Structure 1
Amino acid sequence: MSFQDNKMLIIPAVDIKNGKCVQLVQGEPGTEQVIIENPEKVAKKWEDLGAELVHIIDLDGALESISNIETIKKVLKEVSVPIQLGGGIRSIKYAEKLLNLDIDRLIIGTMGIKNPETISKLSKEYGSDRVMISLDSKDNKVLIKGWKEKIDKSPTEISKEFQELGAGSILFTNVDVEGLLGGFYLDPVIDLVNSVDIPVVYSGGVTSLDDLRQLQSTGAKGVVIGSALYKDKIRLEDALKYQDIK
């Protein structure tokens, strides 16, 4: 699924840990505030409510090197809308395995940042539209290894490199606000969108319909919403009204 000029896709998140759908605070294990059985049913619910794309993160893969591949397969069998998937993609071989499962778009973080040639290889083989680089930011520096390690580059500094390498889009997560349900910072999103010519999808802290209204003005092509949906701060049906940019 390609991003469209006149849309800011509203993308519900399904984060998987121990085979269950969870929501963590700032990605910290042990901070689960939502635990739901059968992530495939959760993904199907978002599809039934009108989501055109679902965002899946394998938290065990990202944090502990344990894959939820069987649960991911259940999600793929259950839903018909495109899936973008990230978490624990540490090798070209595993990335290819996932892409061959018909994952629409693969979200690659640490592997791409430490080994940029992997982005180039995958984009050439599978197409740029299917390769998304994940730039997770704290204090305006990019984080890797499940948000445990910081590198000395800002998202805007590193974004152009990945555009040139063939990444088709960027997932930008502001860890400073992620999972806190306290809103988000507008300027970092605008700076990143203006630094590249490829689509930017934003994630982190989106809590209200007013946040979505503000995001519409940034040029972001999508927004991932997690905790706000699960804690009924935002109804997906209401959020989808902000998908088409006037």
Structure 2
Amino acid sequence: MRFRPCIDIHNGKVKQIVGGSLLDKGDFAEDNFVSEKNGDYYAALYRDAGLTGGHIILLNPAGSSYYEEDVRQACLALAAYPGGLQIGGGMNDENAAFFLDKGASHIIVTSFVFRDGEINYDNLNKMVKVTGKERLVLDLSCRKRDDAYYIVTDRWQKFTNVKLTETVLEELSGYCDEFLIHAVDVEGKSNGIEEDIAALLGSWDGIPVTYAGGVGTMEDLRQLKRLGRGKVDVTIGSALDLFGGPLRFEDVLEEIKGDF
């Protein structure tokens, strides 16, 4: 297990939000924390801690009046830690090269690949052509419906018809370097992980996977390591003291270094 840090940007600010509350209409989200610091502050912190594979997520759509400021914040972060951070949020084959040139290690994509509720292989291949398999991360963030987890798109607002299964993981792993999976129903709530998702990811042997959502205590972290069989990396947002939460950044790093 590795710790993968995050920089979530919404309405031009580094934030932590309740994931399921995000709406394009009115650029609304229920905020857990709004930072007065810019993206480069967090990027430098992660760089100095020697953390790799973290991600920046732009939470406003391209048509939002806040989008340009989101991008500015992201570029500050990428400049502070070139090659050390991935970026996602509205990525497609037309803008991916821009963010790679700005210093992103990988492009994270969901909505461009999952169109009209299905996997759009034409768009997936377009992304691979721009990024290469080695610089592409597929975000398979999901929400529960009818006792199954379905991949969701458009800032987690729309369900697809694609269930998160080992078969889907295996199929899509041929196109990308990693998976990022937010458990959206618990994202930002810090009240426990989605154990079924963690167990599914732990049972699959494939490319690296990062889990995000619900970690609020050290015991949640340990449970994720147990269910993920030590193979699943973790992102912690709202529960971290960097974002107003109770878990000390240094303590989390120390805990992950040791044996649970």
TM range, normalised to the smaller chain? 0.7 to 0.9
Aligned mate of 1:224, from 235, 242, 246: 235
Kept after mapping to 2: 8 A contact 1:172/1:200: yes
How many matched pairs? 237
Aligned-partner Cα distance in 1 for 2:209–2:234: 9
Name the % identity.
29
Q: Which amino acid aligns with 2:173?
A: Q
Specify whether residues 162 and 196 from structure 1 end up closer, same or farther in structure 2 by C-alpha distance, changes over 3 A only: farther
Say whether residues 1:233 and 2:246 are aligned partners. yes
Stretch deviating more after TM superposition (93-102 or 174-183): 93-102
Residue matched to 1:56: 56
Say whether residues 1:174 and 2:183 are aligned partners. yes
Aligned mate of 1:160, from 152, 161, 170: 170
Aligned-partner Cα distance in 1 for 2:62–2:248: 28
TM-score by length of 2: 0.81
Residue matched to 2:32: 33
Residue matched to 1:129: 134
Aligned-partner Cα distance in 2 for 1:210–1:50: 24
Aligned-partner Cα distance in 2 for 1:200–1:101: 24
In structure 2, stretches of 5+ residues that fail to align are 23-27
Kept after mapping to 2: 8 A contact 1:19/1:39: no
In structure 1, stretches of 5+ residues that fail to align are 1-7
Kept after mapping to 2: 8 A contact 1:53/1:83: yes
1:177-196 → structure 2 map (5 Å cutoff): 177-195=186-204
Aligned-partner Cα distance in 1 for 2:199–2:258: 16
Using the TM superposition, give the Cα deviation of residue 80 of structure 1 relative to its aligned residue in structure 2, in angstroms.
Answer: 5.1
The superposition leaves residues 16-59 of structure 1 with CA deviations (integer Å, 9 ceiling, x where unpaired) of 12321111112522311211131221332343345334321111
Say whether residues 1:24 and 2:34 are aligned partners. no
CA RMSD of aligned residues (A): 2.4
Using the TM superposition, give the Cα deviation of residue 124 of structure 1 relative to its aligned residue in structure 2, in angstroms.
Answer: 5.0
Kept after mapping to 1: 8 A contact 2:194/2:213: no
Q: Greater RCO between the two (CA within 8 Å, min separation 6)?
A: 1
Specify whether residues 183 and 201 from structure 1 end up closer, same or farther in structure 2 by C-alpha distance, changes over 3 A only: same
Aligned-partner Cα distance in 2 for 1:169–1:62: 24
Q: Which amino acid aligns with 2:151?
A: V
Aligned-partner Cα distance in 2 for 1:129–1:212: 28
Kept after mapping to 1: 8 A contact 2:114/2:160: no
TM-score by length of 1: 0.85
